[in-house]
Amino acid sequence: MGFDEGKGCLKREPSASARTVGASLKALPQVADTPGYTLAQPRIGDGPPRPTAYTGAMSKLSEDIAHLRKSYERAELDESQSQSAPLQQFDQWMTEALAAQVPEPNAMTLATVGPQGRPSTRIVLVKGYDERGLVWYTNYDSRKGRELADNAFAALQFHWVELERVVRVEGRVEKVSAEESDAYYRSRPLDSRLGAWASPQSQVISSRAVLVANAAKAAAQHGLNPDRPPHWGGYRLVPEQWEFWQGRKSRLHDRLSYRLQDGAWLRERLAP
């Protein structure tokens, strides 16, 4: 409360929430002036106004993104130059990615599907591949682990931007043997082995301090030679279909697909 000398009466000071809304409105001229958006009228306690209706006009940033262009002209992928088996083709491209010092050439997107049919993706690292499939390691209780337990099919994708190449792999997923998981776990740095004990992957935690405390507890409990946690280990995707994509000029990209047919790999060209 305060006294208004002009009116000769008490005046009410704005509440904290009213001051917050006022400050928020002053801080948002760039939103209010953005073409294509309208602002909802705020009410006390609602917080800052927000866009509620899109009228069809793109922002300047969206226009800039829409005009990004790249011409793919580094290489080509022809049937006469490709391997007859997809694993050999993948090995050739991985070797070339390593030789070109592509950043994290072993990074791949893993796509899984949940029980409601909703897909999800994340980046994992391939840790080995052979005729049996492609292997990575993770927490079995994570979201991807739970989704694979419900639906044991997945897709992988490598994107080597510098080489203008993409590799896609689809197939059934299985756990690797305990012996394989143990061997890889023992090869990891100590901090990474303790981290497998410390992180309840995909679960909500209150702060990073929870992870730090868990790591300290794991170090005290397991020492310098921790055993592999039972909830951590490897998966192997057993390929049923491969696709190799090479960027080409004028968006006429090369796409070679390999799919199993009667126990043999059938190579086909796909339209870009």
Distance of CA 259 to the CA centre of its chain: 26
In this structure, are residues 262 and 169 in contact, taking their beta carbons and an 8 Å threshold? no
- Of 19, 172, 251, 255, the catalytic one is 251
**The pair of three-digit structure tokens given for residue 171, joined into one six-digit string:** 């197939």
Q: Using CA atoms of 207, 211, 216, 217 in order, give the dihedral in degrees to the nearest 10.
A: 100
Q: Does residue 118 have an active-site annotation?
A: no
d(CA 213, CA 229): 17
Beta bridge partners, 259, equal: 241, 266
d(CA 162, CA 172): 30
d(CA 125, CA 107): 5
Which residues are catalytically annotated?
Answer: 251
